[in-house]
Amino acid sequence: AQTVTQSQPEMSVQEAETVTLSCTYDTSESNYYLFWYKQPPSRQMILVIRQEAYKQQNATENRFSVNFQKAAKSFSLKISDSQLGDTAMYFCAYLLIQEAQKLVFGQGTRLTINP
Amino acid sequence: DVKVTQSSRYLVKRTGEKVFLECVQDMDHENMFWYRQDPGLGLRLIYFSYDVKMKEKGDIPEGYSVSREKKERFSLILESASTNQTSMYLCASSPAGTGRINEQFFGPGTRLTVL
């Protein structure tokens, strides 16, 4: 079975700093997607960024970018110029294409941005 | 904007009660999902549905059932609630794939406490 591991339960940085959240996953498959989801306090979970495993280029979305190392099965999220609104739980998730919509989530990292 | 709503934000029930959690989406999505979120465990898939009256078990279906009589509504049922079902329950929806993996949109969650 596929597993996703986020080894940092909590992180805290100062506003405007850059922070990197770690994620590793275990799979023997080659066709899959990886996602980072954000869950702000008392608000709905939203998608931050996605990466298709067959693409070598790392995905970016404004201040958010990923470092996708397929051989190492690593998928870290970098947040540049962090803002107070980035305070949230962040979940890494894996999806095997053959299993359609079955997302497998990591344990989550609670990120706090301090003023 | 996609909107996924859940019937209650907070719910308190007693052991042995039958509990219904309702989820409604307004974007005509084919796929709907129920997850439970527990600290240190992330999100785990309970059931999902890819069409009206269709359902598939996720990773932790024991003690739960679901109903999807209309496309926009997906209900999670706890036939006889137990204290170990105290958790946050998240509903999500996504459109059917058309050659790509689609984003899941989440509801605000229902925090269920079973006494």
Q: Are A12 and A110 contacting, i.e. CB atoms less than 8 angstroms apart? A: no
pLDDT tens by residue, A4-27: 999 999 999 999 999 999 999 999
Task: Tell me the sheet residues that pair with B105.
Answer: B93
Q: Are B4 and B105 contacting, i.e. CB atoms less than 8 angstroms apart? A: yes
pLDDT tens by residue, B72-115: 999 999 999 999 999 999 999 988 865 566 788 999 999 999 99
Q: Give A47's contacts in chain B (Cβ within 8 Å).
A: 103-104
pLDDT at B102: 74
Mean pLDDT of B59-63: 95
For B28, which DSSP code? -
Q: For residue A89, which of A52, A59, A44, A34 has the smallest C-alpha distance?
A: A44
User: Which sign, positive or negative, has the C-alpha torsion B69, B72, B76, B77?
Assistant: negative
Q: Give B90's contacts in chain A (Cβ within 8 Å).
A: 45
pLDDT tens by residue, B22-59: 999 998 999 999 999 999 999 999 999 999 989 999 99
Residue contact B101–A33, C-beta within 8 A: yes
Q: Does A97 touch chain B (CB under 8 A)?
A: yes
Q: For residue A101, which of B80, B2, B35, B37 has the smallest C-alpha distance?
A: B35
Residue contact B58–A95, C-beta within 8 A: no
Q: For residue B67, which of B57, B79, B55, B59 has the smallest C-alpha distance?
A: B55
Choosing among A21, A54, A103, A107, which should be mutated to test the B contact, i.e. which has the most B CBs within 10 A?
A103
Measured CA distances, B112 to B14, B23, B45 (Å): 10, 14, 16
- Spatial neighbors of B19 by CB under 8 A, at least 6 apart, are B11, B13, B77, B78, B81, B112, B114
How far apart CA A65 and CA A79 sit, in angstroms, is 7
How far apart CA B87 and CA B109 sit, in angstroms, is 10
